Amino acid sequence: MSGQSTTTAGPVPATRERTTLSEHIVEIVSDSGEGAQKAGQSFGAISAKMGNGVWTVEIIPSDIQPPPRTKESASGIRIRIGSGVVSNAGDEANIVVAFNEIAPYSRIEQGAYQKGTKILLESMWASHDDEEVRENYARAVADFKRLGFEVYEIPMQEECLKVVPDARRGKNMWVLGLLCQLYNRDIEIAADQIRHTFRKKSQQVVDVNLQLLQGGFEWAGKHLDFLYDLPPTLGEIDQVVMNGNEALSLGVIASGIEVCSMYPITPATSASHHLAECFERAGGLVHQAEDEIAAIGFAIGSSYSGKPAVTITSGPGLALKTEFIGLAVMAEVPLVIIDVQRGGPSTGMPTKVEQSDLLAVLYGQPGDTPKIVLAPSTIEECFQFVILARQIAEAFRTPVFVLTDSNLATGVQPFARPKPRKEWFAPPIDQSPWPQGLNPYEWEPSNGISKRPIPGQRGGEFTVTGLNHNKEGRVSYLPEVNQRSSTMRSRKLAAFARTLKPPRIHGDDQGDLLVVGWGSTRGAIEEAVDRARAEGIAVSSLHLRFMSPFEPELKQIFSRFKNVVTAEINYSDAVDDEFVPAEHRRYAQLAWVLRARTLVDIGCFSNVHGQPMRPKSILDAIRTITQPQNA
Amino acid sequence: MYGLKPDPCVLEVPDKYYSTGDYEKGVARWCPGCGDHSVLSAVQRLCQEKQLPPEKTVFVSGIGCSSRFPHYMKTYGFHGLHGRAFPVAEGVKFRRPDLNVFVVTGDGDCLSIGAGHWIHSIRYNMNLTVLLFDNQIYGMTKKQTSPTSPMGTISNTHPHGSVLPPINPVQSTLGVANVSFVAQTADWIPGHLYATIKAAHEHQGFSFVKIMMRCTKFLPEQAKQMVGDKEHMTLLQHPDGIEVDMATANLFKHTVQHDPKDINKAREYSEDPDMFYLGLYYQDKTAPRYDLYGAHNLGATPEQKLQVLEEEFDKFAV
Ligand SMILES: Cc1ncc(C[n+]2csc(CCOP(=O)(O)OP(=O)(O)O)c2C)c(N)n1
Ligand SMILES: [Mg+2]
């Protein structure tokens, strides 16, 4: 680092070379409350506006009030930017901006950095009054160097104090300026972003933050001996940028649903927070029930009365809803159930990602409970699939699940601004008299669908019951009646499956290996497949969005590959576990179902690290699996 | 299915005159002498007197003998899960102010498995008419101890007598925040039963009616004893209370004047170990109602929804 003083401001000298990149990963880590996340979100928004691909994800501290300057208190944000579309959070970070020397440690433990990662470290701690702090700092710098990171000590505090009296508030915007310089961002777009962020604050606040931005921008221009360029290729289209839970929330409004009945649970709750802010103006309401059982019961009551409803939850809440899910299937009440999956079983890891509710959703209720299950794989699909789910729920008179996870819930990605249509809002409610002589469960034999009477419809009066019933809705335990009603409920799935197209294959439609995934892992899997293909490996991938019923022709597709494995974030016994005989191996959840469905010997690559899958780990798995064939 | 129709929730003037037969469906399969039969008759009579349109009337129940009730009403019905009638009924009422919603629940259904929902439903204070069929036993599953079984009750789960004091539903309900209507009646005094259900239906809010029921099948001695016991039964009377005819009033040996606004006195009566008080314990017509909140923003137009979405997209726009 050069140690010159900063007296003049101005553009980067023309002599400075910028290294052109196709993509990069930046992390900003700090104690919670220092604004790292705001800086990162702004940086992502500025980049998206310029036409770059972006994926951001927050790094959340594990405790609610952790003591400052501890590993537990590390919070922050990861921003991955690319010239083109970015579909996942990627592998190790390239640049880390650290507000103190302790914050990087927990990320290092999680393998988030690698040799050569540049750590831009706040240097104020080197001259702190407390000797222990100074020693800590020196030790950390030595640790980081020993681990192969490049450390750049940066006087953030000192520089910020030139603009503000309290640098703890404001450092984040200075860092934003630094990053804008580092990645050749358009400073005017950055300034606009600041004006937008602080639009509800006074002009003075806006000005101070603009000065901080400019300060960081200029400082980096003069002092950093490396600068990058990340030329955008996506062009300027109308985009929105949000996380998956916000997308779900807007999907709820766009779907015409009027009631969201929920009980708070991480990581699903933030969807209801957003909804609570704007739903009311759109004629909807969030009902916070006394527990998850009541939440789904309330939603069922609402939907039964002709007011479309959704219930949003996560694993432990899903467990409580079990009996009502069975009732909704049995009584044929349309309903949208969103499960934002987290680590399990039991209370598990509330803030960590897992995809381990698939089997619970498919088979978790006593008795036969056929249902339709969708799994969005992008933030945009979180929005679209809620709309789709409500339409399917009503068309097929059945509960429909939308399975997302905390990776989608917290991941932020830009996507084309949706164009909502009025038809999406149409209420199901039909209050014209019920056709005379029509039964409440007049199942159409070919598809199991029947027309549903709604309270208020004269002539449609009948009693919903969770007891087995015949087409007249009357309780019956006769063998042939129970067989018939079960068949009719099941037939809806077959009918729905007939409307689906075979899934698109990413890569060639034959080869040595097919990687099958579902949900939030899509970006990482496809990226890993692209890299492997560039290495000459004959691998493709396939991402399922319909988990029940599956999209058609899976068996035919699988038959064209020598090997098929799923990549999933849930538990499986390691294939080489010396204590687990092969015949007792427990597979990952999608693998179980696909094996049963297709009778293909499908393997799986899975873990329960609680982390989004990284492209690199999938790439390693691809290499290992295909190695014998390559050799 | 997705045709754009205006919100239909508007009150209609009935164009048909209903007789009690218009509310009757099938043959009730309760034991002969079971108290459930008399409640069914009283409710059918109420529907007829109030001319409730069958299509605008919903009976929601849980599981139990008593919860079979909706099957015998020619209205809409929802015979759901054991203990979960309240959440379903609340969901039905939340956005449908035009519907008359009744809840039928048993002592096990309401006070044991559904106890959490019961407490919260009192607090929500939605306009629901709640009929608690308290037969002090689990009938459907054949004589297990219920939360209201008197201590010492011989049952299949306590063959040597139950060992805990019972829950007192009237007392407990009176202890919950936002309680708005609590009454007690008995299945074997039809005049009082009818008057009480009628008052409950007329109350705009959560009206909780505990009905003392005979289970002639599993607790025949108790049933006989209750019906004959005039010594331990007192009629609550007040101009603001539940009005009964002279003949009904004359059935009571004891009467007492009780102002249903007086919650302390109501609690005192509910806790009296030697006396059952029939009538209106408590009424508060001003308690906040959650169903009014639920209905306050009904009928948003597609244009309004579009506008909110566009505003939100603007916020997230880059
Ligand atoms: C989840 C669940 N647990 C248990 C049962 C079995 N069960 C059905 S009715 C009932 C008790 C009913 O007693 P009560 O509510 O007093 O109604 P009654 O039959 O006396 O009218 C029980 C335990 C059930 N149906 N569902
Ligand atoms: Mg009972």
Fill in the amino acid letter for B308: V
- Could you give phi then psi for residue A380, rounded to 5 degrees? -60, -40
**Contacting residues of A for B84, CB less than 8 Å apart:** 293-294, 297, 323-324
Tens-digit pLDDT profile for residues A492-526: 999 999 999 999 999 999 999 999 999 999 999 99
Q: Which of A298, A383, A419 would you mutate first to test chain B, the one with the most B CBs within 10 A?
A: A298
CATH number of A505-630: 3.40.50.920
Q: Which fold has domain A19-229?
A: Pyruvate-ferredoxin Oxidoreductase; domain 3 (3.40.920)
pLDDT at res. A429: 79
pLDDT at res. A496: 98
pLDDT at res. B9: 54
pLDDT tier, B166 (very low <50, low <70, confident <90, very high otherwise):
very high
Cβ–Cβ under 8 Å, residues B234 and B251: no
The H or E element containing residue A40 is: helix A36-50
Instruction: Supply the residue whose CA is at minimum distance from atom 25 of ligand 1.
Output: B82
pLDDT tier, A67 (very low <50, low <70, confident <90, very high otherwise):
confident
pLDDT tier, A68 (very low <50, low <70, confident <90, very high otherwise):
confident
The DSSP bridge pattern shows strands A228-229 and A19-20 to be parallel
pLDDT at res. A6: 35
pLDDT at B25 over 90: yes
pTM here is 0.94
Instruction: Supply the residue whose CA is at minimum distance from atom 26 of ligand 1.
Output: B82
Average pLDDT over residues A48-73: 84
Which is more confidently placed, B6 or A99?
Answer: A99
Average pLDDT over residues A452-465: 97
CATH architecture assignment, domain A241-424: 3-Layer(aba) Sandwich (3.40)
pLDDT at res. B273: 94
pLDDT at A630 over 60: no
CATH topology identical between A19-229 and A505-630: no
pLDDT at res. A197: 86
Tens-digit pLDDT profile for residues A240-294: 999 999 999 999 999 999 999 999 999 999 999 999 999 999 999 999 999 999 9
pLDDT at B55 over 90: yes
pLDDT at res. A2: 38
Report domain extents, chain A. Answer: 19-229, 241-424, 505-630
pLDDT at A428 over 90: no
**Which residues pair with residue A124 across a beta bridge?**
none
For the beta carbon of residue B212, count every other beta carbon within 10 angstroms. 23
For the beta carbon of residue A37, count every other beta carbon within 10 angstroms. 20
Using a pLDDT cut of 70, give the percent of chain B over it.
Answer: 95
Tens-digit pLDDT profile for residues A522-570: 999 999 999 999 999 999 999 999 999 999 999 999 999 999 999 999 9
Which is more confidently placed, A70 or A526?
Answer: A526
- Report chain A's mean pLDDT, rounded to a whole number: 94
Tens-digit pLDDT profile for residues A265-276: 999 999 999 999
pLDDT tier, B10 (very low <50, low <70, confident <90, very high otherwise):
low
CA distance linking residue A426 with residue B135, whole number of Å: 45
Q: A-contacting residues of B 241-300, CB under 8 Å?
A: 293-294, 297-300
Q: A-contacting residues of B 43-62, CB under 8 Å?
A: 53-56, 58-60
Q: Determine the distance from the C-alpha atom of residue A152 to the mean position of all C-alpha atoms in its chain, rounded to a whole number.
A: 33
**Contacting residues of A for B90, CB less than 8 Å apart:** 294, 298, 301
CA distance linking residue A462 with residue B78, whole number of Å: 8
Tens-digit pLDDT profile for residues B242-252: 999 999 999 99
What is the biggest distance separating any 2 CA atoms in chain A, rounded to whole angstroms? 91
Fill in the amino acid letter for B50: K
Instruction: Name the residue of chain A whose CA is nearest to B2's CA.
Output: A426
pLDDT at res. A5: 36
Tens-digit pLDDT profile for residues A117-150: 999 999 999 999 999 999 999 999 999 999 999 9
Can you list the alpha helix ranges (DSSP code H) found in chain B? 36-50, 85-94, 107-108, 115-124, 169-174, 190-202, 220-228, 246-250, 263-270, 290-295, 302-316
CA distance linking residue B158 with residue A247, whole number of Å: 54
pLDDT at res. A415: 95
Which structure tokens are listed for A607?
């873990």
Instruction: Name the residue of chain B whose CA is nearest to A434's CA.
Output: B55
* Contact across the interface for B86 and A422, Cβ inside 8 Å: no
pLDDT at B13 over 80: no
Cβ–Cβ under 8 Å, residues B56 and B100: yes
What domains does chain B contain, in order, with CATH numbers? 20-289 (3.40.50.970)
Tens-digit pLDDT profile for residues A362-402: 999 999 999 999 999 999 999 999 999 999 999 999 999 99
pLDDT at A98 over 90: yes
Tens-digit pLDDT profile for residues B92-128: 999 999 999 999 999 999 999 999 999 999 999 999 9
Instruction: Supply the residue whose CA is at minimum distance from atom 2 of ligand 1.
Output: B82
Question: Is residue B232 within 8 angstroms of chain A, CB to CB?
Answer: no
Cβ–Cβ under 8 Å, residues A261 and A289: yes
CA distance linking residue A597 with residue A573, whole number of Å: 21
pLDDT at B235 over 70: yes
